[in-house]
Amino acid sequence: MRLAPAASIAPSRIRAIAALADEHPGTLRLFYGEDTLPTPDFIKQAAHAAIDSDRTYYTPNPGYPELRDAIAHQYQQLHGVPIRREEVVVTASGMMAIHLAVEATVGPGDSALVVTPLWPNFVGAIQVAGAEAIEVPLALEPDGFRLDLDRLESALRSNTRLLALASPGNPTGWTASLDDWRTLVAFCERNDLWLLADGVYERIVFGNNATIAPSPIELPEARARTIIAQSCSKAYRMTGWRVGYAIAPPEVAPTLAFLQEYAVSHAFGVAQEAARVAIRDGDAFLAEAQARYARHRDLAVDRLRQIDGIQVPVPDGAFYVFPKLNGLNESVAFCESLVRERRVGVAPGSAFGEGGEGHVRICFAVDELTLLDGLDRFEAGWRAFRDRGLST
């Protein structure tokens, strides 16, 4: 029997490395985007209380009103613009927010521009929706990644309806300035595109005492065409809880909410309640987590810079470093060899689309010992791989 076209979409290469690591006990897991520390206690306690007060029934499709209000309030405070409950849709993960935004804006016969290297699930979601994803790489310069508007202009087609990107980016850590967003919004206006702006890592930024990355939501001209995808996963160490949200124009948000009915109906009520408390009480925790990731970023960058044949763009946000390994053009084979021979798992750059091959993604959200041990193993594996002529 023949399966539908969606069945032929390539599986995630990050998950493939994870599966290989499962077969090799003792492998250090630097391939996923998550902290090794557990969800903080104050969030867990909120979940216990939510179970005890029976937050276990179906909830409204766009989430509990109290949570939507808490999100609107927080976003308003962080970005200095008015946000109403009607613009907020709680979703069963950031991934679901991406899915709903894509489903609502593109379909068969349409195309979407995706700024890469990027977490592969954007391209996957666009393909699942039956649309074509056109990958447009950031430019890699000696001092890091940079947005290249000319590349976007020349990738555009007459059927393009959507521009999707993340800032801070995964895996690059590239973070759009407000001027970059102005340029991107003007591009979307000129070409009548929706803008899907992923801000999942916006609370994890480094440098200049910044505590939040700029968002297109701050630009009045962006509001009518912008859907923000958000998640509690990374900011609050809640990766397994599957709770996120979208912020969309008030006439679009109800569409996202009813589309969620046809996937998972809504996020789990207990996770929603835990998210509400995380958002209400989480500021001190966030400051501490941000300081920890800043320390780990410096450790990772300094350590990698001691290794020959590697260019290390310094990430401005998120919790990954995405070094370029000179001469590497088979990142999957290299990452497999790291698991088999050194018991360290990192994600192959080619998993992240155009501009990713030749790099690997290393997650520095893990505890310090795992990170340093992982980087030692990585160096040994890279030297051995290079000495063999860059092949397995």
Ligand X SMILES: Cc1ncc(COP(=O)(O)O)c(C=O)c1O
What residue ranges bind ligand X (CB under 6 A)? 33, 93-95, 119, 166, 170, 198, 200, 231, 233, 239, 244
Q: Which two tokens stand for residue 375?
A: 């980087």
Closest CA to 63 of 37, 33, 28, 87: 87
Tracing tokens 């976007």 back to the chain, one arrives at: 152
Residue 200 or 246 with smaller CB distance to ligand X = 200
| CB of residue 14 to ligand X, shortest distance in Å | 9
| CB of residue 220 to ligand X, shortest distance in Å | 25
Residue 351 or 377 with smaller CB distance to ligand X = 351
What count of residues does the chain have? 392
Distance CA 145, CA 165 (A): 14
Residue 93 or 105 with smaller CB distance to ligand X = 93
Rounded (10°) angle between helices 368-387 and 283-305? 30
Q: Are strands 132-137 and 320-321 parallel, antiparallel or unpaired?
A: unpaired
| Phi, psi (deg, nearest 5) at residue 218 | -75, -10
Q: How far are the Cα atoms of 29, 78, 325 from residue 295, in angstroms, in the given order?
A: 19, 24, 23
Largest CA distance in the chain: 61
| CB of residue 306 to ligand X, shortest distance in Å | 28
Residue 94 or 353 with smaller CB distance to ligand X = 94
Q: Which two tokens stand for residue 27?
A: 């492998």
| CB of residue 86 to ligand X, shortest distance in Å | 22
Closest CA to 317 of 219, 231, 207, 209: 207
| CB of residue 386 to ligand X, shortest distance in Å | 29
Closest-by-Cβ residue to ligand X is 94
| CB of residue 231 to ligand X, shortest distance in Å | 3
Exposure of 43 in the CB half-sphere (CA atoms within 13 A): 26
Residue 275 or 379 with smaller CB distance to ligand X = 275
Residue 273 or 379 with smaller CB distance to ligand X = 273
Q: Which two tokens stand for residue 4?
A: 């539908």
Distance CA 170, CA 107 (A): 25
| CB of residue 10 to ligand X, shortest distance in Å | 17
Question: Which amino acid makes up residue 254?
Answer: P
| CB of residue 199 to ligand X, shortest distance in Å | 9
Residue 171 or 358 with smaller CB distance to ligand X = 171
Distance CA 105, CA 16 (A): 30
Question: Which amino acid makes up residue 323?
Answer: P
Residue 169 or 381 with smaller CB distance to ligand X = 169
Residue 233 or 337 with smaller CB distance to ligand X = 233
| CB of residue 233 to ligand X, shortest distance in Å | 3
Q: Which two tokens stand for residue 19?
A: 């599966």
Distance CA 392, CA 381 (A): 11
